[in-house]
Structure 1
């Protein structure tokens, strides 16, 4: 939870807009919550009852000046988004380019987008609706459009996070849900820009959910410059150990709801009784349930690790590394090699991922959606950029299991 400086005992002060404010660090210094006793430009009245400093503002680290009283970072910070300085080409110019699909190949925009990188252990986030949260608690895996936590740490309320939703919902909810996990390897992520992703740019509004895909690698927004990522080929990623499901309240409070326990294949409840009302909108979920297993859900992908010449199911336990997935601690060996295993196929000459198989039918997800492929396969949009359909197994060709190796 976010506390006022007086309650936390931290004497952190941050320069912003020519003044210095008491502040609280967010996401290990990726953003700050500034506090003020008096109204200041851009500050809002704090909804928390009885604060000593009643005005507050969430700001990204790139917006602040000097930071006084910050502790040494416990881990290497993420690479910031870098904008080349130029008298005529500042932030406003780059932001304008980022919102124009025709500017996807602009050298300045390309250089800015290339500065946002995913490394092993980068914290990634995906904003969810209540229905999507229920899906992940029943066994869905990370997939589709997502973001580095570092780039969006200043978005702390449901209204602010609405710009990142991919289900077509708005920002009028009292609570926003987020899945947060650590990236296992950069090879799992793609920048949604360039020729390979042009099909989504041509998708008519009737065939999509959420905001349009611009093809510049940035989120459609009139106020934010946020780089977006897409899981490669829209594939599911294995759920790493200690991934979390989080709620953000209208007051800007972060509440960790559940933590993923890899060995038990389920979500362990972390939230106390005072926050369980945040789960009332989630369909099919009892807020009093301590543990939610997902082990019976068919999995479209898994990590495979090599140890002593034998392949085992593995788990990403970052930042520590990869190990054998085992219930007993003595058997959790660090693996000597690791790869993500998934299944590809083609149907009606469209490349797809095979998600699961039921009674001779295959559930497919399009790797590179475009209007012709969507119409030809009868695919339905599940969320922004993600299209799925059912196909008779007998009609599918090039069905194969592929291992995507990670460098150790």
Structure 2
């Protein structure tokens, strides 16, 4: 074992590849940033002012063999993804298997995928383009493909996060910075794994009809070197934005910059970034870097979190890990609710099950709940991002119009 004596300033050291490196913790121990005085395989030249360690590398916690001192106990840790290793079937074998659509039913691959689970309060992330960031600042809600932060915490630079993009640009737009939405899962039932018959249609869509990477049907991101489990929001629906969700930026040096924090009671985003980082917002269309607070507007919500207090029903907010409470401007009225549910509107149109996103002058903006080649052809729905297909329909043409509630177990 080789020991690199310099420190990163926090006293934390990580053993990686038989060498002990000074390190900094990322995402509460899901990954580490390692520092070195000399060039080593996989390390990048990234000098920092005042540091004698100009080489840097990000590694996932599963790649290290020891952490000294151990991280202090905190909130409940996420369940790691478990890969059963065998003399003839190591990590590389499982990674290659994850890239083969025909292996979706393989027992080993299914066991690995099943070990990555979402619990209430799990931090979720979605990598965004500059255009998507502008949409979320103006009122978009979490939807579509997303990932546990625990599984992707080591992917910090624009080049590394390219495999997680959903917009189909491949990272060409805003190439020197990555934008990310991070929020806490309100309930595991809000998410699906894109495998099995219910999602087979995604794997059958032709390249001309989709954006972003192909959906493999194995539950993993298409990648030549990563083993990242992916999730989709249930039925591709919007999810209510939890309190204290954040919009982040990762510039080329891998630093995490908090751009905005969601203020649920004010229905808007509070700018958190200081003057030295506001240039990261220059590529975001229609957004002034100097704007302190950005309201999401009065656009009708496609989904709503409701809850019960006393004998009444109120709009609620997920304020995790604490729980669910009444959405109220005054602190004294933010009562904890004794039941909570997600409410949304469903319809059928031209034989395709859809979600209603909004209604305007007798027309409905719809999103396909189960995209497949037939549904896309019959509805003429356009791909907005990976897996997300939307179209306009006249309200008089839809059938089975209903408002449903999906209860959360409190």
- Common fold, TM-score beyond 0.5? yes
Displacement after TM superposition at 1:51 (Å): 3.1
RMSD in angstroms over aligned alpha carbons? 1.2
1:158 match: secondary structure: coil
Contact between 2:47 and 2:55, CA under 8 Å: does it hold in 1?
no
Q: Once the two structures are superposed, what CA deviation does each residue of 1:20-44 show, in whole Å capped at 9, x if it has no partner?
A: 1110000000000011111112211
CA–CA separation in structure 2 for the residues paired with 1:6 and 1:93: 37
Match in the other structure for 2:107: 107
Match in the other structure for 1:28: 28
Contact between 1:365 and 1:388, CA under 8 Å: does it hold in 2?
yes
CA–CA separation in structure 2 for the residues paired with 1:111 and 1:400: 37
CA–CA separation in structure 2 for the residues paired with 1:326 and 1:8: 44
2:74 match: secondary structure: coil
The alignment's TM-score, normalised by the length of structure 2, stands at 0.97
Match in the other structure for 1:69: 69
Contact between 1:79 and 1:115, CA under 8 Å: does it hold in 2?
yes
Q: Once the two structures are superposed, what CA deviation does each residue of 1:46-97 show, in whole Å capped at 9, x if it has no partner?
A: 1545631011110000000110013313111100010112111111111111
Specify which of 175, 180, 195 is matched with residue 193 of structure 1: 195
CA–CA separation in structure 1 for the residues paired with 2:345 and 2:37: 57
Unmatched tracts of structure 1, length 5 or more = none
Displacement after TM superposition at 1:6 (Å): 7.9
Match in the other structure for 2:370: 368
CA–CA separation in structure 2 for the residues paired with 1:264 and 1:102: 48
Match in the other structure for 1:9: 9
* Map 1:1-400 → 2, pairs under 5 A: 9-49=9-49, 51-172=51-172, 173-400=175-402
Contact between 2:47 and 2:53, CA under 8 Å: does it hold in 1?
no
Contact between 1:265 and 1:294, CA under 8 Å: does it hold in 2?
yes
CA–CA separation in structure 2 for the residues paired with 1:140 and 1:44: 36
Q: Once the two structures are superposed, what CA deviation does each residue of 1:71-126 show, in whole Å capped at 9, x if it has no partner?
A: 31311110001011211111111111100001000000000000000000000000
1:177 match: secondary structure: strand
2:159 match: secondary structure: helix
Q: Once the two structures are superposed, what CA deviation does each residue of 1:188-227 show, in whole Å capped at 9, x if it has no partner?
A: 0000001111101110111000000000000000010000
1:335 match: secondary structure: coil
Displacement after TM superposition at 1:9 (Å): 3.1
Contact between 2:8 and 2:35, CA under 8 Å: does it hold in 1?
no
Q: Once the two structures are superposed, what CA deviation does each residue of 1:223-249 show, in whole Å capped at 9, x if it has no partner?
A: 100000000000000000000000000
Contact between 1:160 and 1:171, CA under 8 Å: does it hold in 2?
no
1:344 match: secondary structure: strand
CA–CA separation in structure 2 for the residues paired with 1:8 and 1:178: 26
Unmatched tracts of structure 2, length 5 or more = none
The alignment's TM-score, normalised by the length of structure 1, stands at 0.97
